[in-house]
Structure 1
């Protein structure tokens, strides 16, 4: 589904829960005068009649449809942190859907908590985006929503770790705050990173591509000339897109730990470093040639393979492609991710 196609789909507001008028009659003592309960008041029927005849958008959308089944939200669930593919046949109601995670065998309690945290953030941003569309006449751009979710989740985790003065419950898996995760089928992940030296105005870019099953596909290391760090990171992103195109890949997720550049790509180059702008523009145009190209920010701990390949200290040669078999410097990192690595 194209990101801009969602804005043409009319979105209906959430269903208001139709209230039931309470009579509060005393059946045990018919002669006793009926009085309103202290905890709730009686809402006259004419009030409900007035509400339901207001000239507002239709009040008939269910929570399940609004958050899970509406066509424009499906790419957000799939392209977001969980890479979740909505299965319409398995969704009866929203509470049961949430409970299915709690009672699942997807992992430890910490992993289930991490999943539910991402579910909560995703639902919030879907609701927020929908309200902006209905009431503020703003367009819907799934890539921007996915970026907002990713930024909020990672920002929350970083704040939780950095907070002092009272204990915080760790919602991430034990160890580093985040680690590399395979994309959902049919996507491949293109992880990119760059190193940069101010004195020489140059550095190295590293690209690592892996299948949805986690298997290594290809890697590339190249030298880049750049005026600042953002420009070097942008060159790495462009190099990753070029390698993916040379391999005739169709659906890719480009991951970088450069938040500035990824935000610029997600918002169509509307902001960011002017030094990086020309390269980011090229990457954006090249991304449009794929069947589906998505931009994703990740912390460095989830981008270690590309980070190692971009390091100035490793002995690997520049401008070399490794296909099917990774360079020796990456074997340890790829194995550390717990994923298949031919060597």
Structure 2
């Protein structure tokens, strides 16, 4: 596997536009193995950090291979963003499964892994975090959207009431609400982040295999996403989605269809501050 595997027009954005964000010296790189070996001679951090990078690399290779097979055998278009999001979803799923595993002596003696925290996107992206609450009896709930930039600064937020027949449908409505707010604010590059694994899988992999109740809003979100300069879909655990989760809470039912720009609602300030990132008061 030579340099073309790193720098061909559709693979290059996957390697260097994804979570690794690691650049290569084009003058000296010759093969993928040489690039991997360069990790160990660079200042990338601890052995655990290098292991994390290698895990991303292995999963990325797998998804590149899957995408190429789909292109050849199923005639599906090549989409670097879809591969990046699928890689992130797979890695997060592996980490969750690893943390949830039991009966492993080496885990019993180790310190528990701290919960995942919200992380800012790379410039020029803005991160649109969304979440929803839902009640079976009323077939409805609330959606929360929180937008922050690459420095972690608050940009905007919105809370809205949603009618839905299932949790998946409510979460899909929250995703759609986030896309609509981004359009209203005339944003160019966004990452829509949700803790609904099912809906993010539909957005990144196959929209036809998700919940039928969520299908209409997921389809609308996909259409809206195509109008941005760049729109990406990302799954995140609940612990890294606390701001949107708090805004979608069933408390304060009267506080709906309100948009906050630059200055967040007072009830959200303490949650944003827990992320350790800048937040205007």
**TM-score between both structures, scaled by the size of structure 2:** 0.87
Q: Residues 284-303 of structure 1: matches in 2 within 5 Å?
A: 284-303=222-241
1:222, distance to aligned residue in structure 2 (A)? 0.9
RMSD: 2.8
State how far apart, in whole Å, the 1-side matches of 2:149 and 2:38 are. Answer: 28
Do 1:78 and 1:184's aligned partners in 2 also have CA atoms closer than 8 Å? no
Q: Residues 248-287 of structure 1: matches in 2 within 5 Å?
A: 248-267=186-205, 269-287=207-225
1:196, distance to aligned residue in structure 2 (A)? 0.3
Aligned partner of 2:114 in structure 1 is 175
Which residue, 167, 185, 196 being the options, matches 1:229?
167
State how far apart, in whole Å, the 2-side matches of 1:168 and 1:74 are. Answer: 38
Aligned partner of 1:7 in structure 2 is none
Q: Residues 299-338 of structure 1: matches in 2 within 5 Å?
A: 299-313=237-251, 317-338=255-276
C-alpha change, 1:308 and 1:241, in structure 2 (3 Å) is: same
Higher gyration radius (CA) = 1
Q: Deviations over 1:86-111 (max 9, x none)?
A: 44537624344334444444444433
The answer to whether 1:89 aligns with 2:26 is yes
C-alpha change, 1:162 and 1:200, in structure 2 (3 Å) is: same
Aligned partner of 2:277 in structure 1 is 339
Show structure 1 runs of 4+ deviating over 6 A.
none
1:333, distance to aligned residue in structure 2 (A)? 2.3
Structure 2 unpaired stretches of 5+: none
1:131, distance to aligned residue in structure 2 (A)? 5.0
Do 1:76 and 1:142's aligned partners in 2 also have CA atoms closer than 8 Å? yes
Equivalent pairs counted in the alignment come to: 278
State how far apart, in whole Å, the 2-side matches of 1:256 and 1:247 are. Answer: 19
Aligned partner of 2:4 in structure 1 is 65
Aligned partner of 1:121 in structure 2 is 59
State how far apart, in whole Å, the 1-side matches of 2:46 and 2:224 are. Answer: 40
Aligned partner of 1:74 in structure 2 is 12
Residue 194 of structure 1 aligns to a residue in which SS? strand
State how far apart, in whole Å, the 2-side matches of 1:262 and 1:235 are. Answer: 13
Residue 164 of structure 1 aligns to a residue in which SS? coil
Which residue, 199, 212, 216 being the options, matches 2:150?
212
**TM-score between both structures, scaled by the size of structure 1:** 0.72
State how far apart, in whole Å, the 1-side matches of 2:42 and 2:275 are. Answer: 23
Residue 227 of structure 2 aligns to a residue in which SS? coil
C-alpha change, 1:240 and 1:69, in structure 2 (3 Å) is: same
Structure 1 unpaired stretches of 5+: 1-13, 15-61
Residue 186 of structure 1 aligns to a residue in which SS? coil
1:75, distance to aligned residue in structure 2 (A)? 2.9
1:146, distance to aligned residue in structure 2 (A)? 2.6
Residue 89 of structure 1 aligns to a residue in which SS? coil
1:342, distance to aligned residue in structure 2 (A)? 1.8
Residue 270 of structure 1 aligns to a residue in which SS? helix
State how far apart, in whole Å, the 1-side matches of 2:170 and 2:230 are. Answer: 24
The answer to whether 1:148 aligns with 2:86 is yes
State how far apart, in whole Å, the 1-side matches of 2:143 and 2:56 are. Answer: 31
Do 1:161 and 1:168's aligned partners in 2 also have CA atoms closer than 8 Å? no
1:315, distance to aligned residue in structure 2 (A)? 7.3
Q: Deviations over 1:237-287 (max 9, x none)?
A: 111011111111011111111122122222463221221222222211111
1:165, distance to aligned residue in structure 2 (A)? 2.2
Q: Deviations over 1:283-326 (max 9, x none)?
A: 11111111111111122122111111111135782111111122
